[in-house]
């Protein structure tokens, strides 16, 4: 059982790297932010804000006890992705042109934790599809330390 401090929430240093390949072009983004981790109802929640030149985007990563990971980005267009190694998941992505129905195929998902200080890593490789057409291949590398 996690510590009482973790159940109340602890400040955390968060580093998230994302990369993706779309239409033959590779893109890479890296963020180092201060955030917070809390343990609620058997799940870990890592919350932080990505800082961009035009503002910030609130991010929440939820890690379920069964290893399923949820990523929520609350920008102009809210995106909620679910990463599950055992099944294809679906997400709706709201754009100015309307809602796109996405399919998320999780190809590799690994979560690990460390004690003293409490820390963890999340590795996700996935593909997004719209109408049976592949949008691209994506990677997320998340590290957090209290």
Taking only the tens place, the pLDDT of each residue in 57-67 is: 999 999 999 99
Please state, as a whole number, how many other Cβ atoms lie within 10 Å of the Cβ of residue 118. Answer: 19
- Residue count of the chain, please give it: 146
Strand ranges of the sheet holding 119-130, from the earlier edge strand across to the other edge: 78-83, 69-74, 55-63, 43-52, 25-40, 10-22, 133-145, 119-130, 98-114, 89-95
Give the pLDDT confidence score for residue 142 in this predicted structure.
Answer: 98
Per-residue pLDDT reduced to its tens digit, 21-46: 988 899 999 999 999 999 999 999 99
- At 18, list the tokens: 């994302």
User: Does residue 1 have a pLDDT over 70?
Assistant: no
> At residue 51, does pLDDT exceed 90?
no
Q: Round to whole Å and give the CA distance between 28 and 33.
A: 17
Q: What is the pTM of this model?
A: 0.91
- Interatomic CA distance for residues 90 and 14, integer angstroms: 27
Q: Residue 3: pLDDT band by 50, 70, 90 thresholds?
A: confident
Per residue in 76-133, pLDDT (tens digit) is: 778 899 999 999 999 988 777 888 899 999 999 999 999 888 999 999 999 999 999 9
Query: Domains in the chain, ordered, with CATH?
Result: 4-145 (2.40.128.20)
- The reported pLDDT for the residue numbered 4 is 81
């Amino acid at each position: 059982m996690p510590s009482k401090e973790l159940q109340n929430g602890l400040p955390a240093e968060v580093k998230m790297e994302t990369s993706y390949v779309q239409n033959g072009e590779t893109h890479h983004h890296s963020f180092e932010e201060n955030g917070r981790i809390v343990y609620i109802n058997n799940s870990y929640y890592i919350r932080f804000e990505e800082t961009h030149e035009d503002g910030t985007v609130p991010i929440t990563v939820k890690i379920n006890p069964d290893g399923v990971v949820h990523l929520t980005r609350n920008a102009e267009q809210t995106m909620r992705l679910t990463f599950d190694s055992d099944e294809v998941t679906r997400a709706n992505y709201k754009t100015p042109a309307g809602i796109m129905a996405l399919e998320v195929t999780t190809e590799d998902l690994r979560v690990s934790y460390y004690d003293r200080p409490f820390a963890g890593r999340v590795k996700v490789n996935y593909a997004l599809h719209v109408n049976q057409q592949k949008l691209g291949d994506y990677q997320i590398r998340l590290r957090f330390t209290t």
